[in-house]
Amino acid sequence: MASSQDKSEYEKSSIVLKKALTLMVKNRIPPSPNHYSVWYTFADKSNFDLYRELSDVIARGFCTETKSRELYTKYIASASERSLETIKRDLEKMVCEMSSSITDASAGTVLFQSKINTSFDKLKKAEGGELTIEETMSVMHEMVKNSKEVAKSVEIFSRQLTKAQREITELKDQISLFQKDAATDALTDLLNRRSFDLDLASLGEYDMPFSVIMCDIDHFKRLNDTYGHQVGDIALKMVARIFIEQTRNSAMAYRYGGEEIVMLLPETPVSTARQMADYMRRRIEKLSIIIKETGTKVSSVTASFGVAATDGGEPPEDVVKRADLQLYEAKRLGRNRVMPMSM
């Protein structure tokens, strides 16, 4: 029969489970183990940093699937990722070592307990006057010796636990790095095309209204040809930083390809998306790059934008295509502008 404490824990877990699933459904998060671990931890309030960050995201609007994955990488990721075979082998080795240490420590504890019981039995005889002083002192010396041996075993076990904890931390850091590399673009720190495709599909699956901002750096090839690819990379990173600074209220920015950057804005009207695009356009045209070797100042970085939003039941890919057509129109009309011109 379950104790009252077990029943209380069960009821608490059930409440947390229901809350986590409700939040996942509300935010259109697929019920995968990784996502579930994020939202259960959030509902349980067992990780303050995760709870605070996800609370801020929810308060500002909609949590995307990519954001949930990022939170998993940042706060939950452990050394159990099956795709990381090297880390898996390291973990298995560590578990075997710890299992052996625990077995040794357990056996040592049982042996010590047996010796202590024997010593206590002998001391009882001393209380009855059945042992001489020399025999009593011998029993005491034996107890001290056994205690020192156990203390040494505990010290060794403690060091092994400390080592294992350090290795676990290192494994988690490696996994976090691998997962970040899998989801982001190495040059710009923007999310990559794979992340974009996943999030776009998620928006379509749950029929979530959204806006799209597509951006292309003007005359990027000319910039590379004139000043070198290093300057082109700097310009791309600077533009990417402007986008990243605007990733709030569930907006997510991605490197779409080459010098193209795209932003998804769930539950955002096209007029708001256009205002954001124009704000970023104005910030980009103020950028300047100083080439250290020559002291040359490059201040001709501009970008063109296309904006579109869902228009009732159309496939999400069609929205992206319309934003791309608006971007093409912006370039045709002279670049450094946002299309459509007004909403």
Q: What are phi and psi for residue 63, nearest 5 degrees?
A: -90, 120
CA 251 from centroid of its chain's CA atoms: 17
pLDDT one-digit tens code per residue, 133-153: 666 566 666 666 666 666 666
Positions in the chain short of pLDDT 50: 1-2, 78-83, 85
Question: What percent of the chain is modeled with pLDDT above 70?
Answer: 66
Q: Residues near 160 by Cβ (< 8 Å), separated by ≥ 6?
A: 97, 98, 101
pLDDT one-digit tens code per residue, 178-227: 555 568 888 899 999 888 998 998 888 888 899 999 999 999 999 989 88
The reported pLDDT for the residue numbered 339 is 96
The reported pLDDT for the residue numbered 48 is 83
Question: What percent of the chain is modeled with pLDDT above 90?
Answer: 32
Q: What are phi and psi for residue 211, nearest 5 degrees?
A: -115, 155
Dist CA 26 CA 54 (whole Å): 14
Dist CA 22 CA 18 (whole Å): 6
For the annotated catalytic residues, the residue numbers are: 259
The reported pLDDT for the residue numbered 79 is 39
Dist CA 339 CA 305 (whole Å): 6
For residue 340, say if its preceding peptide bond is cis, omega within 30 degrees of 0.
yes
The reported pLDDT for the residue numbered 292 is 79
Dihedral through CA 268, CA 333, CA 279, CA 295, nearest 10?
A: 140
Strands 289-291 and 296-298: antiparallel
Q: Residues near 249 by Cβ (< 8 Å), separated by ≥ 6?
A: 60, 61, 265, 268
Query: Residue 90 corresponds to which tokens in the numbers above?
Result: 């390291």
The reported pLDDT for the residue numbered 311 is 81
DSSP code of 219? T
From 294, 191, 185, 195, select the one nearest 233 (Cα to Cα).
185
